[in-house]
Amino acid sequence: MVYVRQEKLPNLRQYKYSGVDHSLLSRYVLKPFYTKVVIKCFPMSMAPNLITLTGFSFVIVNMLTLLWYNPTLDQDCPPWVYASWALGLFLYQTFDAVDGTQARRTHQSGPLGELFDHGVDALNTSLECLLFAASQNLGMGWKTVATLFASLLTFYVQTWDEYHTKTLTLGIISGPVEGILILITVYAFTAVKGGGSFWQQSMLRTVGVPKYEFIPNYIYELPFNEWYMVQGSVVLILNTIQSSVNVIKARRAKGDKSRYALVGLIPFAITWTLIPAYLYLNPDILHNHLVPFVFFCGLINAYSVGQIITAHLVKLDFPYYNVLILPLAYGVFDSLGPFLQQNFGFGWPSALGDGGYQVAYMFMMLGAGIGVYGSFVVDVIVTICDYLDIWCLSIKHPWNEEEETKKVKKTS
């Protein structure tokens, strides 16, 4: 499949990165640390995308320890495992932030860097949901699904915002900065407390808040992990509203109708109508095979946002179609028939049943997701590299200041 037509490739040369970061923590603490300390650890010969990929490898190691020590997401791990998650995520954030500085100092900035960076971030989002669920002992259930929904929606909305405003906007509190630092703190504190079971306790009772009569009992008994989800829901709503306002303003400034931009949220809404429906109709997947299904959901989201970023870079229409929802839609249709028969007296028989074939189908969806997203990544990267005459993970044309100065003098 061709994702970028040849006639659209000249738009790549018009690319210019635009980003706004309102985070005070980023401005006064993290950026000075990245630009004055960390960047000196990387040689000028190292490609920015290789830095990004190296940072992602730390998250992969974290996932491997998760699958070994806590594949069911509800068991306490050795304290060093949580500490390694904190360190791995910190290194990922650091490498992910430094790649831009490396691109500027090696004069390798370009559209491929933004696409590569967003693609890795999209994959990391779903993986961190599993790591967070394991750190809280959420287990395989609706709490983990809710965490995944909030994280993927935040990333999708931010990418949708960037497509329409042409600027990556990070608020005073954002996921890539404060959100990741909160997760690092949670992992580190879990290591100190000896396991995720600590977060199952009532937060108000644990911190010493008296049981006043005006506090409902269910609120007083709410554990740490559910308070975290409440806080995440509030931040999610605020970020979604802010991104919607940004898009509406940008559309109106250009004289376009804002409602057409809001239609871009429909693909995510359709996907997240199908996902909980599939899990509700297949409780065995929800409670026993949720981890591979989360991988599949992460690939659906990564494919969607990858298409959006590609459309942003080469000035294509907004992509509303995601082929990966088709096998998911069939899974819902197949499981809906027996459900209707059992509860309403009409329906159709399932071709997959509710046993091993259903599990096999879920793994088939995961395989399809890997194949489709993998082909998308390879095709787009190869197309961009060929057109711009660059390499993805190494520097094909190192910057030479003397030669570039001579070129400028000849053209002037």
Q: What is the DSSP string of 59-127?
A: HHHHHHHHHHH-TTS-SPPPHHHHHHHHHHHHHHHHHHHHHHHHHHHTT--SHHHHHHHHHHHHHHHHH
Tell whether the model's pLDDT for residue 393 goes beyond 80: yes
Residue 92 DSSP label? H
Output the average pLDDT for the chain: 90
Tell whether the model's pLDDT for residue 69 goes beyond 60: yes
Point out the residues that are catalytic: 118
CA atoms within 13 A on the CB side of 317: 4
Residue 406 confidence class, pLDDT cut points 50, 70, 90: low
Tell me which of 217 and 377 has the higher pLDDT: 377
pLDDT at residue 212, rounded to an integer: 83
Token duo for residue 270: 């359709």
Let me know if residue 406 belongs to a domain: no
Lowest pLDDT segment from 52-61, 221-230, 403-412: 403-412
Let me know if residue 412 belongs to a domain: no
Residue 210 DSSP label? -
pLDDT at residue 410, rounded to an integer: 60
Residue 213 DSSP label? T
Range of the domain at 317: 6-401
User: Judging by DSSP bridges, how do beta strands 19-21 and 168-170 pair with one another?
Assistant: parallel
Let me know if residue 1 belongs to a domain: no
Residue 133 confidence class, pLDDT cut points 50, 70, 90: very high
Structure confidence by residue, pLDDT tens digits, 252-297: 887 777 777 888 899 999 999 999 999 999 999 999 999 999 999 9
Distance CA 33, CA 93 (A): 12
Tell whether the model's pLDDT for residue 343 goes beyond 80: yes
Measured N-to-C along each axis, helices 290-314 and 142-165 cross at an angle, to the nearest 10 degrees, of 0
Let me know if residue 391 belongs to a domain: yes
Tell whether the model's pLDDT for residue 319 goes beyond 70: yes
Residue 411 confidence class, pLDDT cut points 50, 70, 90: low
Lowest pLDDT segment from 133-137, 338-342, 352-356, 391-395: 352-356
Both ends of the chain: CA-CA distance in Å?
A: 43
pLDDT at residue 385, rounded to an integer: 94
Degrees, nearest 5: CA angle 361-325-139: 60
Let me know if residue 409 belongs to a domain: no
Tell whether the model's pLDDT for residue 357 goes beyond 70: yes
Structure confidence by residue, pLDDT tens digits, 302-315: 999 999 999 999 99
Residue 407 confidence class, pLDDT cut points 50, 70, 90: low
Residue 169 confidence class, pLDDT cut points 50, 70, 90: confident
CATH code of the domain covering residue 141: 1.20.120.1760
Distance CA 146, CA 169 (A): 25
Tell me which of 168 and 329 has the higher pLDDT: 329
Q: Which residues contact 172 (CB under 8 A, 6 or more apart)?
A: 22, 23, 24
Give the mean model confidence (pLDDT) for residues 153-181: 86
pLDDT at residue 140, rounded to an integer: 95
> What type of residue sits at position 305?
V
Report residue 83: phi and psi, to 5°. -65, -40
Let me know if residue 411 belongs to a domain: no
Let me know if residue 170 belongs to a domain: yes
Lowest pLDDT segment from 55-59, 155-159, 173-177, 283-287: 173-177
Distance CA 225, CA 195 (A): 13
Tell whether the model's pLDDT for residue 412 goes beyond 70: no
pLDDT at residue 176, rounded to an integer: 80
Number of domains in the chain: 1
pLDDT at residue 120, rounded to an integer: 94
Distance CA 242, CA 173 (A): 12
Distance CA 351, CA 364 (A): 15
pLDDT at residue 218, rounded to an integer: 83
Let me know if residue 408 belongs to a domain: no
Kindly tell me the burial class for residue 189, based on how many C-beta atoms sit within 10 Å of its own C-beta (0-12, 13-18, 19 or more).
middle
| Look-up of token digits 């070129």 | 407
Kindly tell me the burial class for residue 355, based on how many C-beta atoms sit within 10 Å of its own C-beta (0-12, 13-18, 19 or more).
exposed
Whether the model pTM is above 0.75: yes
CA atoms within 13 A on the CB side of 197: 7
